[in-house]
């Protein structure tokens, strides 16, 4: 009986380690609002700056990645990136050679302290004059594809969030397989 | 501890951990295997003809027997697989890691691996007659890593080569037929074949006979595809042959030359220690080939059969080799070989920088340079471990 209890405790600990503790310690940022489907290209030139906005679904916005294309990585024009929240704004200057053919360009800034559901305005401008050398990848409505990333909270909140997340995932899984899986594990432990 | 209890504990650990790890190979292979249940016998031609319409466009680079066996197996697995499995197999977009049932897909797809893994443990016990070897196989994290984290069907040919070794003296014809099936799944056992032949008998006629037996399964399974150009095109797209001749010294490929030298000495030796010969190939392989971690599994059961494997000094060098191999793998520029394995737990693991990216972006060092040093260290420790083993064996014999 003691051995069985020990195996049960070790099994639970093993699962807790991988499912809750490990992600809580290692995952520092999470993906949030994004626009991800599309393969159209929109030229990015001096007299056509790009502006778009999005509503964040989490607090602590920390970075954006924007899908762009620099064919053969030949263009090295200056690009100004600006993101504004209700109380503050961040600016980044980068260059054409930071863009791949194509790539999702990561733009990391000091995280915003605004809560979830905040609207952010993004604007990008360039001194590029060649209409065939820099592009945004867009959807059918010519909206640039992007991902937003958010800084994780403190460890205690992370542990709680990950535990709840795993519970939710378990509920979403196939019920019959859940029952079979748990029954099998319990049966094997009892057979020891 | 009783056998039954050992196997049950090993099974519990596997059932708990196997669903938590992922590598894209298991998905891409099963993506191709699904077409067998749709009546596609010639997968090579099917992919060639439909390349532009398929959600995943890579060619199928494995042998026909692999497709037929695992395609048939998948048909049975689908009975217990969750209904959204087919949708997941064909989803190569951003949502592919968000399926709640992903751990169950992986667990069910890995059930044959669990079965073969335990059988390998049993065979190792039968061959070595050592419980220590059995426990070591069942509970060491490295074989778990290779089978369930890197997760590849290589475990099947690995099992067959070991079974062939088990039967080689008592039932040689059956042994070489089984060896032939291993080759028909994946070509790598061909590297071992000359050593198996020499170990069985140095009689030329017998060697020819067993060579023929060993090629029968491959020939029979390839014949129906031989007229299809798509088959030859896809099949020769795989990279092992290229990798084996990549390292050259004055334009001479190192691996084949040293391989032939080992084979020559094996031919000269009066009593062949087959696991040691394969261990030498293993050392040569990890020292001279830019290997993928799954390839290490080919040699692993034979390493467990080495005499004096638990001799402290030799065991330490093996441990050191394992650490260096893992270090080498973690320095490959592929996040699916590090954090990406943990996608079933949380897809956001993919957002964590890989060791390659951390070294490159935060320390400004070229990770390949470090990898080259690791490779050199692997070669040095390999050489050292071969010497230590030889010394231990000769002391043991005297």
> Is A79 contained in some domain?
yes
> Is A2 contained in some domain?
no
SS3 for A29? Answer: strand
Residue of A nearest to B7 (CA): A192
pLDDT confidence tier of residue B372, bands split at 50, 70 and 90: very high
pLDDT confidence tier of residue B398, bands split at 50, 70 and 90: very low
Phi, psi for B331 (deg, rounded to 5): -95, 0
> Is A126 contained in some domain?
yes
Distance CA B289, CA B249 (A): 13
pLDDT tens-digit map of B178-224: 999 999 999 999 999 999 999 999 999 999 999 999 999 999 999 99
- Touching B: A residues 158-187, CB under 8 Å: 162, 165, 169, 172-174, 177, 181, 184-185
**Does a cis peptide bond (omega within 30 degrees of 0) precede residue A102?**
yes
A47 touches chain B (CB under 8 A): no
* Interface mutation target, options A28, A153, A177, A187, chain B, most CBs of B under 10 Å: A177
pLDDT tens-digit map of A67-103: 999 998 899 999 999 999 998 999 999 999 999 888 8
SS3 for A34? Answer: strand
Q: How many domains does chain A have?
A: 2
Identify the CATH number of the domain in which residue A120 sits. Answer: 2.60.120
Does one domain contain both A73 and A148?
yes
Distance CA B254, CA B248 (A): 5
Query: Closest to A174 (Cβ–Cβ): which among B93, B104, B349?
Result: B104
pLDDT confidence tier of residue B238, bands split at 50, 70 and 90: low
Residues of B in Cβ contact (< 8 Å) with A184: 15
Residues of B in Cβ contact (< 8 Å) with A14: 13, 16-17
What average pLDDT does this structure show over B274-291? 95
Distance CA B156, CA B181 (A): 10
What is the DSSP track for B156-215?
HHHHHHHHHHHHTTT-HHHHHHHHHHHHHH-SGGGGTHHHHHHHH---HHHHHHHHHHHH
Q: What is the pLDDT of residue B331?
A: 95
Q: What is the pLDDT of residue B397?
A: 46
CA distance A60 to chain B (A): 16
Q: What would the two tokens of residue B339 be?
A: 């954090």
B350 touches chain A (CB under 8 A): no
What average pLDDT does this structure show over B66-82? 96
pLDDT tens-digit map of B133-184: 999 999 999 999 999 999 889 999 999 999 999 999 999 999 999 999 999 9
Distance CA B286, CA B295 (A): 9
Q: What is the pLDDT of residue B395?
A: 59
Q: What is the pLDDT of residue B306?
A: 94
> Is A16 contained in some domain?
no
Does one domain contain both A134 and A179?
no
Distance CA A80, CA A75 (A): 15
Strand partners, A146: A35, A66
> Is A4 contained in some domain?
no
pLDDT tens-digit map of B241-250: 777 778 888 8
Does one domain contain both A162 and A114?
no
Phi, psi for A107 (deg, rounded to 5): -125, 100
% of chain A with per-residue pLDDT over 70: 99
* Interface mutation target, options A27, A36, A161, chain B, most CBs of B under 10 Å: A27
Q: Count other C-beta atoms under 10 Å from residue B136's C-beta.
A: 18
Residue of B nearest to A13 (CA): B16
Contact A22 B345 (CB under 8 A): yes
pLDDT confidence tier of residue B239, bands split at 50, 70 and 90: low
What average pLDDT does this structure show over B314-323? 96
pLDDT tens-digit map of B101-119: 999 999 999 999 999 999 9
pLDDT tens-digit map of B322-337: 999 999 999 999 989 9
- Given a contact cutoff of 8 angstroms between Cβ atoms, the answer to whether B160 and B126 are in contact is no
Q: What is the pLDDT of residue A153?
A: 76
- Touching A: B residues 284-323, CB under 8 Å: none
* Interface mutation target, options B20, B144, B351, chain A, most CBs of A under 10 Å: B351
B17 touches chain A (CB under 8 A): yes
Q: How much is the mean pLDDT over chain B?
A: 93
CA distance B82 to chain A (A): 6
Does one domain contain both A116 and A48?
yes
Q: What is the pLDDT of residue B245?
A: 77
pTM, full prediction: 0.88
Does one domain contain both A135 and A52?
yes
Q: What is the pLDDT of residue B251?
A: 84
> Is A75 contained in some domain?
yes
Does one domain contain both A99 and A184?
no
Does one domain contain both A113 and A83?
yes
Q: How much is the mean pLDDT over chain A?
A: 91
What average pLDDT does this structure show over B357-384? 94
Residue with tokens 């969030």: A161
Contact B100 A172 (CB under 8 A): yes
Does one domain contain both A82 and A146?
yes
pLDDT confidence tier of residue A51, bands split at 50, 70 and 90: very high
Q: What is the pLDDT of residue B158?
A: 98
Please report the ipTM that was assigned to this predicted complex: 0.88
Domain residues for A184? 154-192
Distance CA A73, CA B56 (A): 27
SS3 for B253? Answer: strand
Q: What is the pLDDT of residue B237?
A: 57
% of chain B with per-residue pLDDT over 70: 97
Which ranges constitute the DSSP H helices of B237-354?
240-244, 254-268, 274-288, 300-304, 312-330
Q: What would the two tokens of residue A2 be?
A: 């003691």
> Is A86 contained in some domain?
yes
Residues of A in Cβ contact (< 8 Å) with B21: none
Does one domain contain both A133 and A46?
yes
Contact B107 A181 (CB under 8 A): yes
> Is A19 contained in some domain?
no
Does one domain contain both A126 and A177?
no
pLDDT tens-digit map of A131-183: 999 999 999 999 999 999 998 878 898 899 899 999 999 999 999 999 999 99
B223 touches chain A (CB under 8 A): no
Does one domain contain both A142 and A167?
no
CA distance B351 to chain A (A): 7
Residues of A in Cβ contact (< 8 Å) with B103: 173
Does one domain contain both A174 and A134?
no
């Amino acid at each position: 009986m003691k051995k069985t209890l020990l195996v049960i405790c070790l099994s639970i600990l093993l699962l807790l380690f991988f499912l809750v503790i490990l992600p809580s310690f290692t995952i520092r940022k999470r993906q949030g609002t994004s626009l991800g489907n599309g393969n159209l290209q929109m030229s990015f030139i001096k007299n056509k700056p790009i502006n778009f906005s999005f509503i964040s679904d989490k607090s602590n916005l920390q970075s954006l990645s924007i899908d762009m294309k620099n064919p053969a990585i030949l263009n090295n024009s200056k690009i100004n990136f600006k993101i504004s929240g209700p109380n503050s704004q961040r600016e980044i200057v980068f260059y054409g050679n930071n863009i791949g053919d194509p790539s999702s360009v990561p733009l990391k800034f000091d995280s915003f302290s605004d809560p979830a559901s905040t609207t952010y305005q993004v604007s990008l401008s360039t001194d590029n004059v060649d209409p065939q050398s820099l592009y945004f990848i867009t959807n059918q409505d010519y909206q640039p594809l992007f991902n937003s990333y958010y800084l994780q909270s403190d460890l205690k909140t992370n542990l709680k969030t990950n535990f709840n997340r795993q519970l939710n995932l378990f509920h979403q899984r196939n019920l019959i397989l859940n029952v079979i899986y748990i029954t099998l594990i319990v049966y094997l432990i009892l057979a020891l | 501890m009783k056998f039954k209890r050992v196997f049950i504990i090993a099974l519990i650990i596997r059932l708990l951990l196997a669903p938590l790890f992922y590598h894209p190979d298991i998905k891409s292979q099963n993506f191709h295997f699904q077409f067998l249940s749709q009546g596609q016998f010639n997968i090579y031609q099917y992919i060639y003809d439909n390349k532009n319409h398929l959600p995943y466009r890579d060619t199928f680079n494995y042998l026909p027997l692999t497709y037929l066996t695992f395609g048939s197996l998948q048909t049975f697995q689908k009975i217990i697989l969750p209904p959204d499995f087919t949708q997941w197999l064909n989803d190569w977009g951003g949502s592919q890691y968000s399926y709640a049932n992903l751990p169950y897909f992986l667990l069910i797809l890995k059930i044959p691996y669990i079965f073969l893994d335990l059988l390998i443990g049993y065979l190792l016990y039968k061959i070595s007659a050592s419980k220590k070897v059995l426990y070591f196989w069942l509970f060491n994290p490295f074989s778990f890593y290779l089978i369930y984290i890197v997760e590849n069907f290589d475990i099947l040919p690995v099992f067959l080569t070991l079974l062939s070794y088990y039967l080689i003296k008592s039932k040689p014809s059956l042994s070489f037929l089984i060896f032939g099936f291993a080759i028909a799944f994946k070509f790598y056992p061909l590297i071992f074949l000359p050593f198996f032949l020499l170990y069985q008998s140095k009689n030329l006629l017998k060697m020819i006979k067993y060579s023929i037996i060993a090629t029968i399964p491959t020939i029979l399974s390839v014949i129906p595809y031989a007229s299809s150009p798509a088959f030859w095109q896809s099949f020769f797209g795989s990279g092992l042959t290229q990798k084996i001749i990549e390292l050259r010294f004055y334009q001479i490929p190192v691996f084949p030359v040293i391989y032939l030298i080992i084979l020559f000495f094996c031919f000269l030796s009066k009593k062949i220690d087959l696991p040691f010969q394969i261990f030498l190939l293993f050392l040569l392989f990890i020292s001279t080939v830019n290997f993928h971690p799954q390839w290490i599994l080919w040699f692993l059961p034979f390493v467990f059969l080495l005499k004096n494997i638990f001799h402290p000094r030799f065991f330490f060098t093996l441990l050191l080799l394992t650490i260096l191999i893992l270090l080498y793998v973690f320095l490959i520029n592929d996040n699916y070989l590090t954090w990406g394995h943990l996608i079933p737990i949380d897809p956001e693991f993919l957002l964590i920088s890989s060791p390659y990216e951390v070294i490159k972006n935060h320390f400004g060092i070229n990770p390949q340079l470090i990898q080259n040093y690791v490779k050199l260290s692997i070669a040095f420790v390999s050489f050292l471990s071969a010497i230590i083993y030889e010394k231990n064996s000769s002391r043991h014999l005297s």
